[in-house]
Structure 1
Amino acid sequence: MKVCFFDIDGTLIVSGGAGQKAFARVFREQFGVDEISQAVSFAGRSDRAITLDLLAAHDVEPSDENWRRFHDAYIAVLPESLAANEGTVLPGVEALIATFAAADGVEVGLLTGNVIRGAEAKLTHYNLWHHFAFGGFGDTHTSRDEIARAAVVAAGEHLGISPNGDSRLAVIGDTVHDITCARAIGAYAVAVPTGLTSIDELRAAEPDLAVETLEDAKTLIDWITA
């Protein structure tokens, strides 16, 4: 099994802050929070973890009921937020996906902190969703490592083989969390500073490959398609 897992925000796309603005709107409308705490980090984390931390930071019970309340409202407002904020598919993304699609025995999946319906909304907006048949998402897990393990299981189920067999896995992402979760599943870690994390910070986390943009991913292509 050869699988390349892509992060979404800061790796495949930038959305002009559409996701965070949708978060802020939901917290305002559903929980009466005028301004969400800047002390809660979004980068590289799961939507569930971010939401539970924000609920706690604003003295709202971080319960399953409030998580579901947030989730449903967020999915309802996210398409409008995407349409209202200017974003783009990042350089090299479409060509890299096309290269993998043309390669023998290579599959692409998602490994993201987005909830699955949020991932679908974002990637449908940028005409990328149809490329990805499986992945790991931020609906259930707060840990990126657990999301990574779920992504491997999903890949195995989709391909009809054991994820514990002879596998060649790669994770492409723009944060240190993407590198560490790659390690959790024994994957090749590819770092790209097209999000909010600098190339120096990413290199300090010791990825297998660091590239300035996905236009520079020849080494990854050679490795995954070998």
Structure 2
Amino acid sequence: MHVCLFDIDGTLLNTGGAGALAMERAVGELTDGSDRPLDIPYAGRTDRAIVADIFRHYELDFGDAALRNFLGRYVEHLDEMLGQSPGLVLPGVERLLAHLHQREDVILGLLTGNFIEGARLKLRHYHLDAYFDFALGGFGDTHADRDEVARVAFNTLKAHRHPEQIDLRRLWVIGDTPADVKCGRAIGAKVVAVATGVYSSDQLAEHAPDYLAEDFEAVDELLELWPAIG
């Protein structure tokens, strides 16, 4: 059995800034509209880590209750912003997912820094949600460290499948940042890096992924990574 764990933003789709804008609006409601400039990195990080940085930036107390309050506001704004932002599904993604989804020897999961509800909204908006079982994967709700999210995804896979079905030689993480390469290595997976996010192929090559693509247009070449298992 092949297992493919996909990142979302910059890998499958680009929301046109909807996620960042939704976060800004949510925190604006908690800070009475303060427009203090933010200089917080987003790419390759978990939403929990990003929100913790935002709270520190505004000198707000951060904890589970505060996070739940923020998350409710964020999801509401994200749903609105997705409909207003010029996002898109990235090249080749739909054909790749459609092919993998129909195969009985492939498990599709998610390994993303997104909050799970944010992941649902984004994938549903772009009509990609049907390809994934949200019970199989790791999300950015609980851990700030992306490597820990990868470990959660791996343990979830083992819990939902017979452990002997999870062959590290056939376990792949697919993402667009060095953090995706790093977290894949944390669980012993192979990694496909794709230069459709903010990192160039040269920058990604420095982190030695097992396969490097400019985008997913060359679907047939990609599928050779996951030969059919009879």
TM-score by length of 1: 0.93
> Between the two proteins, what is the percent identity of the paired residues?
44
2:163 maps to amino acid = S
Rounded Cα–Cα distance in structure 2 between residues aligned with 1:163 and 1:18: 40
Deviations 1:33-86 (A, max 9, x none): 533654211101111010001101221122222211111111122110100111
Match of 1:75 in 2: 75
1:52 alignment counterpart? 52
Report the RMSD for the aligned CA atoms in angstroms.
Answer: 1.7
How has the CA–CA distance of structure 1 residues 92 and 62 changed in structure 2, closer, same or farther, with 3 Å as cutoff? same
* AA aligned opposite 2:119: A
SS of structure 2 residue aligned to 1:20: helix
Q: 1:49 to 1:36 in 2, by over 3 A?
A: farther
Match of 1:154 among 128, 153, 156: 156
**After alignment, is 162-171 or 143-152 more displaced?**
162-171
The aligned counterpart of 1:11 is 11
1:128 to 2:128 alignment: yes
Query: Amino acid of the residue matched to residue 101 of structure 1?
Result: H
- The offset of 1:116, in angstroms, is 0.6
Distance 1:163 1:122, change over 3 A: farther
Corresponding residue of 2:183? 181
Report Cα offsets for 1:94-152 as digits up to 9, x if no partner. 11112212334111111000011100000000001111102110010111111111111
CA shift, 1:157, in A, is 2.9
* Alpha carbons of structure 1 residues 124 and 109: separation in structure 2 relative to 1, 3 Å: same
Structure 1 regions of 5+ residues with no counterpart? Answer: none
The answer on whether the counterparts of 1:43 and 1:196 sit within 8 Å (CA) in structure 2 is yes
Alpha-carbon spacing, 1:145–1:217, altered in 2? closer, same or farther (3 Å): farther
Unaligned runs of 5+ residues in structure 2 are none
Q: How many residues align?
A: 225
- What is the CA–CA distance in structure 1 between the aligned matches of 2:113 and 2:37, rounded to whole Å? 19
1:164 Cα deviation from its structure 2 partner: 8.4
Deviates more, 1:80-89 or 1:24-33: 24-33
Answer yes or no: is the 8 Å Cα contact 1:170–1:187 preserved in 2. yes
1:152–1:163 Cα contact (<8 Å) kept: no
Q: What is the TM-score of this pair, normalised by structure 2?
A: 0.92
